[in-house]
Every structure is written in C-alpha cells, then in structure tokens.
C-alpha cells in the first residue's frame, strides 16, 4: 500500500515527523490506505512554495485561454480515470460506488464549466476622450483551500477549478478522514501541466495544519467548506491579517409541503432529501414542514418509506445508503438524538445505531423520523448531519415562511405546491441561498451555490464562484496629461 504524501513545490513529501494516519473504512474498519500526518511545519513549507510560485508570476502570466485549456485537460484526465477516482472516494467514505461515480462525474462538470468562463473585464465610459478607464481582474493570490469529508473531491473541485482559471497558487487541505482523491487530483494536475508550486497539498488534522493556513500573512484567501464552528474559528483567525474568506458552512434546510402538492412526488423527494448519503449532505432536507391537514398522511408514508431503506457497505449491491463517516460523528448524532428525545420529540422510527448482518463493524445509523418538533428544540435548530428528519406542522402560508426562516442557517430549502403563485411567494420570502420549487436537491456548476446568514460567506460555482479568486483592479489611463490645478502653485511655472 503506497503512503499518501504531501505535494509541495512539485514533489511528494512525507511529514518531517514521520507520523502516519490510517484511513479506515467507516463500513468495517479495514485500513483503506495510510497517509503521512502533517503538522504546522509542513504547512509552512507549502505556503512558502505557493507564495514563491505566485510571486514568480509564471502561472498567472499564462493567457486566460491557456488556463481554460488546462481545465479542459484536467476534466479529460479525470474522466479517463473516473473509476480510479470513484473507488478511492468510495474507499475513504464507504459511500456506494455508484454515488462516488456520480460525484466524480460532477467534478468533471465543474472543471468543464469553469473552462467556459470568459476572462472578465470591462471599460468604464467617463465621458472624456483622453481617458481610458478599465476594470481588469487579477488573481487574488495564494489560497488555502480547505474541504470536508462528505463530498471530498467535489467540494475541493469547486475551489480548485476557479483558482486555476484565475491564475492563483494554492494549498489544498482535505479532511483528515478522506484524503485519497485530493492526492489523485495532484497527480492529474501535474499530468495536465500545472507548474510546480502552483498546486500544493497538505495532509493532516485541521487542528494542526489549519493554523498556518488561516493565519500566515502569505495567504491571501481562505476558502473553507465545513462546519459552522470551524468556519467561525477560521473567520476569526483570518481577521488578524485581513484575509479574504469564502465560507460554505452548514444548513438546516426547510422542506415545505403544502396540502395542494403532488404528494407522491413530495414524499418521495422528502425521503431522498433526508436520507441520501445518510443525511451527510449540507443541503439535506432535514426539516420537514407539513401543512397540518396532510400531516398524518405525509408522516405515515414518510415513516413507512424510512423503514424500507437498506443500509450497507460500498460493495453491497442491495444497499441504498451507507454509514456515517466515523465513530466520533456517530457519537455526535447519538447526542443529538438524546437531546431531541429529552426535549419532547416523538421518535416514529429509527433513532439509534443500526444493527444487522454486515453492519456490526460500521458506523451505521437508522433512518429516523422525529415528529411533534418545534423551532425551540435543538433538533430543529442544530445540524445533525445524520439521517434524521424532524417534522413540524403549519396552518398558513405565512406560518410556513416564518418557520422556514426560523433558523440561523440559510443554505437551501424547498416548497411543494400546485399553486405556482404561492410557490413564488414562499420562494421569495425564504432567506436561503437555493430554493427548489416542486423538486429537491439539484444543483448546477453554472448556478451560484452558497448560504445566507450563518450558512456562509460568498458563493461557489457560477460566475460568482470564480470572482472569489479574483481582485478587481481599476486602470485609469490619461493620454493627454495636464496639471490638476487643485492647489495654488505660488507663481512657479514649469515653463
Ligand atoms: P469540519 O469539521 O468543520 O472540517 C472541515 C475541514 O476543516 C476539514 O478539512 C478539517 O480538517 C478542517 N479543519 C478543522 N479544524 C480546522 C482549523 N482549526 N483550521 C483549519 N481547518 C480546520 O467539517 P466536516 O465535519 O468535515 O464537514 C461537515 C460540515 O461541512 C457540515 O456542517 C456541512 O454542512 C458542511 N458542508 C457544507 C457545504 C456547503 O456547500 N455549504 C458542503 C459540504 C459540507 P480535519 O478533517 O482534519 O479536522
């Protein structure tokens, strides 16, 4: 088994301490791979390399078209190696191979989409023929790109693709739990022609390598996807050197079903929204808001459907979803459940670690439906990041909106109704970054993704996702220079 290593200034390196970390399958604890375990000294080396490559200017002086072509090559190479990538992603996370294949296909789309974005820049008409006023966009500089474990390569690709297109240099820091595909990506970037020092990779725990990446003055931007508490910490760390920050944080996403909705479609999508990837999805539809008149019907069918879900490992052809990522995460979800019960939530199904043949060694949690929930309960307010749907009832459109916005988060939500005008009103009133109407979950690389309120700062994907990696520069050129004439010149004449 090859040791996964840091990639710094074009070379593969082990941590100076010699420490390693075993990556174990969340399904059965077998050792999937072993990674070098970095510390602050390793991160500093990567920062020095990225800074030198950026300040050297070689990559950012490539033409925009050459960097677009680079992204197309990256996409083609990942497509060629899709099976290798998917197996690695599935290995680290124990998500089903088919889900990992979908994820890698999405990664390819992200690179392909970014390759289509034209170089931004425009002129400003100031009404004077001797003046040219132009806005140019330059790379923001050296970026720390920190990703989570739930969609390891996809979340990193949302950062790497625009960073490359912009001409930045960067250091990727994947989750310590799921480093394999980030390592593969570095191989791909080299093969595609990314110069040494532009793309660097640091492996290890965020608690150790995170500090230099978020405090060092040589880092210009920190783009982070992960939990709220880590995001707050990173924002505070970055403030000392006034770094730019882009934060994609958690969500507590309302899925609102009105009585006039297509209930078959709404309930089926509610099951997917809550239980896909065992709820380890930032946009998971974990808060079901149901109009009171259909509450019993919806909840009974939702509970029946939750009970049918088959859990299993990545190679189990019958499995519909897999385990939680780690023992620590399972314990977090168990703690969330205990609080929910003590606060009065009614467990209709699930609520505990899953048992069953083949699941004994894994971090499995039963698909769970909690009824009689209210916004004062922590289960409604806190992200569980597990397969748990809370159910609340409402009796009017305004109450649905009020409940849907009664959260510190603002990542995504959905509204189900056959009344198009009502859907539009509710969608407009919900303060979340993505609203699905009579649907749940799709996203596109062309469309901005990100959060209102505590779900984040900035946007990924779309044109805005690129702009996180650019600085606007105003260039003012006077082709007929003259004196400003503002202050008295005391009779001096330059003639
Ligand atoms: P996390 O614990 O916050 O970790 C995210 C990343 O930050 C990991 O690479 C982690 O490294 C690193 N990190 C931890 N402490 C750090 C520090 N002090 N300085 C710098 N980096 C540090 O989140 P997670 O559990 O991996 O991911 C789940 C969360 O991500 C959920 O809240 C989910 O909603 C959110 N998420 C949001 C989106 C979105 O688009 N908004 C998408 C996906 C996930 P280690 O793993 O080594 O600790």
Q: Residue 209 in contact with residue 173, Cβ under 8 Å?
A: yes
Tell me how far apart the terminal alpha carbons of the chain are, to the nearest angstrom.
Answer: 79
Atom of ligand 1 nearest to the CA of 146: 9
β 199-201/221-225 pair status: unpaired
With the most atoms of ligand 1 within 8 angstroms of its CB, the residue from 181, 206, 253, 363 to mutate is 206
Is residue 282 within 6 Å of ligand 1 at its C-beta?
yes
Dist CA 469 CA 164 (whole Å): 9
248 is catalytic: yes
β-bridge partners, 415: 256, 437
Is residue 324 within 6 Å of ligand 1 at its C-beta?
no
Dist CA 224 CA 270 (whole Å): 28
Each of the 495 residues of the chain gets a pLDDT tens digit; together they read 799 999 999 999 999 999 999 999 999 999 999 999 999 999 999 999 999 999 999 999 999 999 999 999 999 999 999 999 999 999 999 999 999 999 999 999 999 999 999 999 999 999 999 999 999 999 999 999 999 999 999 999 999 999 999 999 999 999 999 999 999 999 999 999 999 999 999 999 999 999 999 999 999 999 999 999 999 999 999 999 999 999 999 999 999 999 999 999 999 999 999 999 999 999 999 999 999 999 999 999 999 999 999 999 999 999 999 999 999 999 999 999 999 999 999 999 999 999 999 999 999 999 999 999 999 999 999 999 999 999 999 999 999 999 999 999 999 999 999 999 999 999 999 999 999 999 999 999 999 999 999 999 999 999 999 999 999 999 999 999 999 999 999 886 555
Phi, psi of 359 (to 5 degrees): -105, -5
Residue-range domain boundaries for the chain: 1-248+454-474, 252-435
Tell me what pLDDT residue 492 has: 66
Topology classification of domain 1-248+454-474: Aldehyde Dehydrogenase; Chain A, domain 1 (3.40.605)
Residue 244's Cα: distance from chain center in Å?
17
258 contact partners, CB below 8 Å, separation of at least 6 = 291, 397, 400, 415, 416, 417, 419, 422
Name the token pair of 464: 């805005």
Handedness of CA 216, 222, 227, 229 (dihedral sign): positive
CA-to-CA separations, 492 to 5, 185, 482, 486, 487, in angstroms, rounded: 68, 65, 16, 14, 12
Q: What is the pLDDT of residues 398-453, one digit of tens each?
A: 999 999 999 999 999 999 999 999 999 999 999 999 999 999 999 999 999 999 99
Tell me what pLDDT residue 1 has: 75
Name the token pair of 477: 């050129």
In the chain, % of residues over pLDDT 70: 99
Dist CA 278 CA 354 (whole Å): 12
Tell me what pLDDT residue 370 has: 98
Tell me what pLDDT residue 493 has: 58
Dist CA 6 CA 124 (whole Å): 45
Cα angle, residue 166 at apex, residues 160 and 170 outer, rounded to 5° = 45
Name the token pair of 41: 């000294």
With the most atoms of ligand 1 within 8 angstroms of its CB, the residue from 158, 226, 281 to mutate is 226
Q: Whose CA is nearest to atom 11 of ligand 1?
A: 206
**Which element (helix H / strand E) includes 357?**
none
Is residue 103 within 6 Å of ligand 1 at its C-beta?
no
Q: What is the pLDDT of residues 254-299, one digit of tens each?
A: 999 999 999 999 999 999 999 999 999 999 999 999 999 999 999 9
In three-state secondary structure terms, 87 is: helix
Tell me what pLDDT residue 495 has: 52
Q: Is 438 left (phi over 0), alpha (psi -120 to 50) or beta?
A: left
What is the CATH code for 252-435? 3.40.309.10
Query: 231 CA distance to ligand 1 centroid (A)?
Result: 8
Handedness of CA 237, 241, 242, 247 (dihedral sign): negative
Dist CA 370 CA 286 (whole Å): 10
Tell me what pLDDT residue 494 has: 53
Whether this model's pTM surpasses 0.75: yes
Dist CA 292 CA 25 (whole Å): 42
Single out the catalytic residue among 282, 373, 379, 423: 282
Is residue 385 within 6 Å of ligand 1 at its C-beta?
yes
CA-to-CA separations, 206 to 126, 153, 405, 415, in angstroms, rounded: 48, 17, 32, 37
452 closest CA partner among 483, 429, 421: 429
DSSP 215: H
Q: How many other CB atoms are there within 10 angstroms of residue 200's CB atom?
A: 28
176 is catalytic: no
Helices (H) and strands (E) in the chain, counts: 15, 21
Query: 328 CA distance to ligand 1 centroid (A)?
Result: 14
β 121-124/388-394 pair status: unpaired
Whole-number CA gyration radius for the chain: 25
């Amino acid at each position: 088994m090859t040791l996964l290593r840091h990639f710094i200034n074009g070379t593969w390196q082990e941590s100076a301490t010699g420490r390693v970390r075993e990556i174990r399958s969340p399904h059965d604890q077998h050792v999937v791979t072993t990674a070098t375990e970095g510390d602050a000294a390793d991160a500093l080396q990567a920062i020095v390399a990225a800074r030198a490559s950026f300040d050297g200017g070689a990559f950012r002086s490539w033409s925009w078209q050459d960097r677009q072509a680079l992204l197309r090559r990256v996409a083609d190479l990942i497509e060629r190696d899709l099976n290798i990538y998917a197996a690695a992603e599935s290995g680290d996370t124990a998500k089903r191979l088919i889900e990992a294949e979908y994820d890698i296909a999405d990664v390819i789309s992200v690179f392909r989409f970014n390759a289509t974005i034209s170089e931004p820049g425009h002129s400003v008409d100031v009404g004077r023929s001797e003046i040219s006023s132009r806005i140019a966009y330059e790379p923001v500089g050296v970026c720390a790109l920190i990703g989570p474990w739930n969609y390891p390569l996809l979340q990193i690709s949302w950062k790497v693709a625009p960073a490359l297109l912009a001409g930045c240099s960067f250091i990727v820091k994947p989750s310590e739990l799921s480093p394999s595909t980030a390592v593969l990506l570095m191989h791909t970037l080299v093969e595609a022609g990314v110069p040494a020092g532009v793309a660097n990779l640091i492996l290890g725990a965020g608690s150790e390598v995170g500090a230099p990446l978020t405090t060092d003055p040589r880092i210009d931007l920190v783009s982070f996807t992960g939990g709220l508490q880590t995001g707050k910490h990173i924002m505070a760390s970055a403030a000392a050197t006034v770094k730019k920050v882009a934060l994609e944080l958690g969500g507590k996403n309302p899925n609102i079903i009105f009585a006039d909705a297509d209930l078959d479609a709404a309930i089926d999508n509610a099951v997917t929204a809550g239980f896909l990837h065992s709820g380890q999805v930032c946009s998971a539809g974990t808060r079901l808001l149901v109009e009171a008149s259909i509450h019993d019907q919806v909840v009974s069918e939702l509970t029946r459907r939750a009970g049918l879900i088959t859990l299993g490992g990545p190679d189990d052809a019958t499995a519909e979803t897999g385990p939680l990522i780690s023992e620590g995460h399972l314990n977090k979800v168990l703690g969330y459940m205990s609080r929910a019960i003590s606060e009065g939530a009614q467990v209709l199904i699930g609520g505990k670690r899953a048992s069953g043949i083949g699941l004994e060694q894994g971090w499995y949690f039963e698909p769970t439906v909690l009824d009689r929930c209210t916004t004062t309960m922590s289960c409604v307010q806190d992200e569980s990041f597990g397969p748990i749907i809370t159910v609340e009832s409402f009796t009017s459109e305004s109450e649905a909106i009020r409940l849907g916005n009664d959260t510190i988060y603002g990542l995504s939500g959905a509204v189900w109704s056959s009344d198009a005008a009502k859907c539009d009103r509710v969608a407009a009133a919900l303060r979340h970054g993505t609203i699905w109407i009579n649907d749940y979950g799709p996203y596109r690389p062309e469309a901005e993704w990100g959060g209102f309120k505590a779900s984040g700062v900035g946007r990924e994907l779309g044109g805005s996702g690129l702009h996180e990696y650019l600085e606007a520069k105003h260039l003012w050129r006077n082709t007929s220079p003259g004196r400003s004439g503002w202050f008295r010149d005391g009779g001096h004449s330059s003639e």
